Amino acid sequence: MKQLKRAAALAAAFVMSAGMFSGYAEEAPAEDTAGQSTVAEYEPVSSTPDFDPENDDFEYKSDDESGSEEEKDDPNPSTALDVTPYADRLREIGEAQKEIDEKLQKAEQGLAAEEEIRKAVMEKLGMIKAKTGVLNSYMTRLEISIKDNEKAIEDKQAEIDDNIEKFKRRLRALYIAGGEESYLSVLLSAGDFFEVLMRMELVKRVAEHDDRFIEQLHQSKKELEELRSSLSKKKADYNKQKSELETQQKAYEELVAKHKEIADELAEERKALLEENQAYIDERKSFEADLSGLLRSNFSDSGSDAARQAAELEASAALENLHARLEARKEAGEEIPEDECRYVFNWPCPGVYYISYGVGARWGKYHQGIDISGDKYDDVVASESGTVIRINTSCPHDYGKQESCGCGGGYGNYVIIDHGNGFLTLYGHLTEVNVEPGDKVTQGQHIGYMGSTGFSTGDHLHFEIRYDGMYLNPAAFVNIER
């Protein structure tokens, strides 16, 4: 953006420095009713060189070597410059780039948000995979346990089957022997009563053994069923957990894919915006190159203007240094106060872009600023933040005139602002001054109204920029974007 503004300024500098000027309809001079001088000054603590417009002959400096005789004698060069088209195009490109910046910011924020979501999802996915790993490890151990238990089950089943078979044989033998009659025959075959008792005890023990054997068979059968049920439940639980984790993993993988798609779309949008922005940058560079070529081919300063050229080179270097220092402070995290001068000089007449004259020879004098033509009471604002160091409000001659009324050294009512580091701006021919010496003003703050006081042929603002006491071409330093 800075290069584009500089390019437009160069264009304005070229046309104005070629000596263009448009006259105004002469008004009937009013009676000089000037009273006491109302020039007010402020003594700032600053390294900026002070100047007195009334003693310095600041605006119309005699320069016999400045320009040709034709230029000196011609009080009304042919054409003026309306920089509105430049301002409009700069505004269009500036607004477009601002819109792109906003979209880029949203895209960057979206990408950052998507990255945070992706990280959270990937973290959750990692946890699911970790759980799946633990579950798989558990299942491996469970499978081993199942195999071991299945062997035990087989052994237990074989034991049960063997005992059942034994019991079947015993029952068969008992049945063949006559069942209860067999027990009775055992008792009756005893030789005496003592033997009867002994045989009764034997029969009892055999019956108890049979009962225990049957109970053992029942218990073994129960344990076998419980073991099978436990293994079956563990497998079912494993399969359920595995299914749930697989479902979660699938859902999170789909979420990752979805947000990757969103991030890819945002990345594509950012790429397109950067390409669009680059197109504006390329247009700006082309515009700057064309205007620079136009300047080189159509304009060259006279030898007497070498001091201004040297001052402009020094001022440009100083501005680059000041901008670099400000940037370094920002990068260091320092918050720059809103009212601090940033040394980016803005257009002093919002909405008024008709330049009737620029820096150059005029009527045998050297015009040291630019004249911005408009209507009486058009707003005049501070080009940059600074301190008001001098004003004049004594000129009552607020009308077009062909010779100086002598007020304010030709400036009429004016305001001078000190921006520090050697930079001053002056605003001349005001109909009304609305600041006082010592006032701190911010960029764009209202300071007065356009008029035609002092040596002025019609309502306009005379605007100057000085560096270390030397005048600069404002068109080469001011931002004319609307």
Q: What is the DSSP string of 103-118?
A: HHHHHHHHHHHHHHHH
Cβ-proximal residues to 322 (8 Å cutoff; 6+ apart), any chain: 343, 421
The tens digit of pLDDT for each residue in 275-332 reads 988 888 887 667 655 544 443 443 334 434 677 778 888 988 999 999 999 999 988 8
How far apart CA 429 and CA 417 sit, in angstroms, is 15
Check pLDDT > 60 for residue 24: no
Check pLDDT > 50 for residue 461: yes
Does residue 372 contact residue 352 with C-beta atoms inside 8 Å? yes
Instruction: Give the lowest-confidence range in 24-38, 216-230, 363-377, 417-431.
Output: 24-38
pTM for the model stands at 0.53
Q: What is the pLDDT of residue 27?
A: 33
Instruction: Give CA angle at 403 (477, 464), nearest 5°.
Output: 10
The tens digit of pLDDT for each residue in 83-106 reads 666 667 767 877 888 888 888 888
Q: What is the pLDDT of residue 84?
A: 67
Check pLDDT > 80 for residue 18: no
Tabulate helix, strand, coil % of the chain (nearest 5). Answer: 55, 15, 30
- Of 393, 376, 397, 370, nearest to 477 by C-alpha is 370
Which whole number is the average pLDDT over 356-373? 71
Q: What is the pLDDT of residue 389?
A: 96
Instruction: Give the lowest-confidence range in 13-17, 396-400, 426-430.
Output: 13-17
How far apart CA 440 and CA 118 sit, in angstroms, is 51
- Hey, how many other C-beta atoms are within 10 angstroms of the C-beta on 106? 14
Does residue 397 contact residue 42 with C-beta atoms inside 8 Å? no
Check pLDDT > 80 for residue 81: no
Does residue 377 contact residue 413 with C-beta atoms inside 8 Å? no
Does residue 87 contact residue 353 with C-beta atoms inside 8 Å? yes
Check pLDDT > 50 for residue 475: yes
Q: What is the pLDDT of residue 433?
A: 98
Instruction: Give the lowest-confidence range in 19-23, 117-121, 177-181, 414-418.
Output: 19-23
In Å, what is the CA distance from 2 to each residue of 6, 158, 223, 266, 345? Answer: 6, 95, 89, 28, 11
Instruction: Give the lowest-confidence range in 89-93, 194-198, 257-261, 418-422.
Output: 194-198
In Å, what is the CA distance from 158 to each residue of 171, 214, 220, 224, 413? Answer: 20, 16, 11, 11, 122
Does residue 22 contact residue 356 with C-beta atoms inside 8 Å? yes
Cβ-proximal residues to 182 (8 Å cutoff; 6+ apart), any chain: 174
How far apart CA 421 and CA 317 sit, in angstroms, is 12
Burial class from Cβ neighbours inside 10 Å (0-12, 13-18, 19+) for residue 45 reads: exposed
Block residue for tokens 């301190």: 387
**Which band of pLDDT confidence, cut at 50, 70 and 90, is reported for residue 370?**
confident
Does residue 308 contact residue 470 with C-beta atoms inside 8 Å? yes
- Of 406, 403, 408, 405, nearest to 430 by C-alpha is 408
Q: What is the pLDDT of residue 265?
A: 87
Edge-to-edge order in the sheet of strand 60-62: 60-62, 365-367, 360-362
How far apart CA 66 and CA 303 sit, in angstroms, is 8
Q: What is the pLDDT of residue 479?
A: 77
Q: Please provide residue 386's backbone torsions phi and psi, each rounded to the nearest 5 degrees.
A: 175, -160
**Which band of pLDDT confidence, cut at 50, 70 and 90, is reported for residue 362?**
low
Q: What is the pLDDT of residue 215?
A: 76
- Of 417, 463, 458, 410, nearest to 441 by C-alpha is 417
Which whole number is the average pLDDT over 168-173? 62
Instruction: Give CA angle at 126 (121, 132), nearest 5°.
Output: 125
Query: Which has more pLDDT, 26 or 198?
Result: 198
Bridge partners, residue 271, by sequence? none
Q: Of 54-58, 245-249, 294-298, 345-349, give the range with the top mean pLDDT.
A: 345-349
Query: Which has more pLDDT, 147 or 335?
Result: 335
If you average pLDDT over every residue of the chain, what do you get? 74
Instruction: Give the lowest-confidence range in 11-20, 112-121, 270-279, 377-386.
Output: 11-20
The tens digit of pLDDT for each residue in 402-430 reads 888 989 989 999 999 999 999 999 999 99
Which structure tokens are listed for 90? 């700069």
Q: What is the pLDDT of residue 452?
A: 96
Does residue 124 contact residue 252 with C-beta atoms inside 8 Å? yes
